Structure 1
Amino acid sequence: MRRLPLRSAVAGAAAGPLAVLLGVSLAACGGSTAATVSGSGPAGPGPSTTAPGATGATATGVTAAVGGGSAAPAGRAAARCAAGELTVTLGAAHVNTGDQHERPVILTNRSSRSCAVTGYPGVELVARDGSTYDVVRSPLVRPSRIVLAPGGQTRANLRYLTVSPGADGAFDAVRVLVTPPDTTTSTPLTWDAGPVLDQSGATHPGTWIMAFAAYPK
């Protein structure tokens, strides 16, 4: 049974040659206010680029308000979302290109207060035999501080390469563990998308997770 080592996110974007960080329980945090975006939840796909590269693990982009809320005024910034304040779900899968598919990891603020999410979720696929596959992070979406009003949502797109059952390199996932940023609490979800290609040792794998982002109307 294989278990990959978990690693923490590092502050700042990786420089020089492209680098990859494993998806782990604690995702990046922090950010600076540059703009405010309002909306009722995530909609629409992310970028269509099909290769991950170096990871920028610290948010230096916009602060966005999602779910009809607004950016908190100076001195009253929204606190980070605790695991117990978030509901974690998987959206519907669709074909991106070729054997690469995409589905959103969605966080919903179920609390009565506004709270903030920054960075990447930890995503770990689990096979029937208990072996695990930690999904790497991609810089295709720049991490930013997302303020969720009560009921607000944010999404991080998960892209993955499908493969036929029993094929060489097939990882027969049956569950996926999702850990919100800045928390250590994982939510187990059923994985119903079939086997994915195990590229745990690849330099540029075709399976990765993006940072959470706000999607305006």
Structure 2
Amino acid sequence: MVYTPRSARHGALLVGTVAVLGLLTACGNGTDGHGSPPASVSGTAGPAQEDSKSPASDTASASAGAPSSSAPGTTVSAGGATSATTTPAASSRCHTSELRASVGRNDPGAGQENFPVVLTNRSARTCTLHGYPGAAFVDASGSQLGPDPTREPGSPVTVTLKPGKSAWAGLTFSNPGISGAKTATPAALLVTPPDEHDSLKAAWSGGEVPVSGSSSAVRLTVLGPGTAP
């Protein structure tokens, strides 16, 4: 038996421990036997900021991109009550076949002739009107007299009409006797409800109207609830 000094045995033990630690380190750092780095999987990563967005910010972004037609408006019932609402759905709109048109009494003032153009719901359902009607003076043969009326600036509201209820728009022009415009006497006023293509005929008994000249403009206001101012 060969005696090994204590210092030599201690040195051999230390060398063995270092070797074992080295082997464990090589296994834990993810390298293979040739020292190559870990493999990567190809793909597309989304932007980091998308992960940090809250549901509230997503909703705000969607609202900012929403069409303007969905912005809130005002609803006015025939009784005068108002409430905030979005633009009415097409299915709730009053169609030409559900309405009756008429022209109210003249309310002249300051050299102006002012007539209410009235649309009345003659159907059995509640429907809505929003914006400006169309209008045109015609003679007995149906030929148009003068240009289409222009629109007075205004804020359109949604008027809800129960059966039998009405909405009106103001039709205004300068008195031809004062303005000197060329005139004609219509037989009727054709009225087209908002967003409709077919017209209604309302008898005209308001006398001469301007049809040409520098002061021949006829103007229409937005629809409001009721039958007159």
- Asked if these proteins are the same fold (TM beyond 0.5), I'd say yes
The aligned amino acid for 1:208 is: R
Aligned pair partner of 2:139 in 104, 124, 127: 127
1:193 lines up with 2:206 in the alignment: yes
The aligned amino acid for 1:156 is: A
Q: Report what 1:155 is aligned to.
A: 168
Give the secondary structure class of the aligned counterpart of 1:208.
strand
Does the 8 Å contact 1:162/1:195 carry over to 2? no
Report the count of equivalent residues: 154
Q: Report what 2:96 is aligned to.
A: 83
Q: Report what 2:76 is aligned to.
A: 64
Does the 8 Å contact 2:75/2:84 carry over to 1? no
Distance 2:151 2:195 in 1: 15
Distance 1:138 1:173 in 2: 22
1:212 lines up with 2:226 in the alignment: no
Q: Report what 2:7 is aligned to.
A: none
Q: TM-score, normalised by structure 2?
A: 0.56
Q: In structure 2, do the counterparts of structure 1 residues 73 and 138 end up closer, same or farther at CA, with 3 Å as the change threshold?
A: closer
1:104 lines up with 2:116 in the alignment: yes
Distance 2:123 2:198 in 1: 17
Distance 1:198 1:173 in 2: 10
1:136 lines up with 2:185 in the alignment: no
Q: In structure 2, do the counterparts of structure 1 residues 162 and 191 end up closer, same or farther at CA, with 3 Å as the change threshold?
A: farther
The aligned amino acid for 2:210 is: L
The aligned amino acid for 2:222 is: A
Give the secondary structure class of the aligned counterpart of 1:159.
strand
Deviations 1:84-137 (A, max 9, x none): 111111111121222x11111111112222111011111101135734222111
The aligned amino acid for 1:142 is: S
Aligned pair partner of 1:115 in 104, 120, 127: 127
Distance 1:169 1:73 in 2: 44
Q: Report what 1:7 is aligned to.
A: none
Pairwise CA distance, 1:171: 2.7
Deviations 1:29-66 (A, max 9, x none): x6755xxxxxxxxxxxxxxxxxxxxxxxxxxx411122
Matches within 5 A, 1:10-89: 33=72, 61-67=73-79, 79-89=92-102
Pairwise CA distance, 1:190: 2.0
Does the 8 Å contact 1:67/1:153 carry over to 2? no
Distance 2:191 2:204 in 1: 11
Structure 1 unaligned spans of 5+: 1-29, 34-60
The aligned amino acid for 1:185 is: D
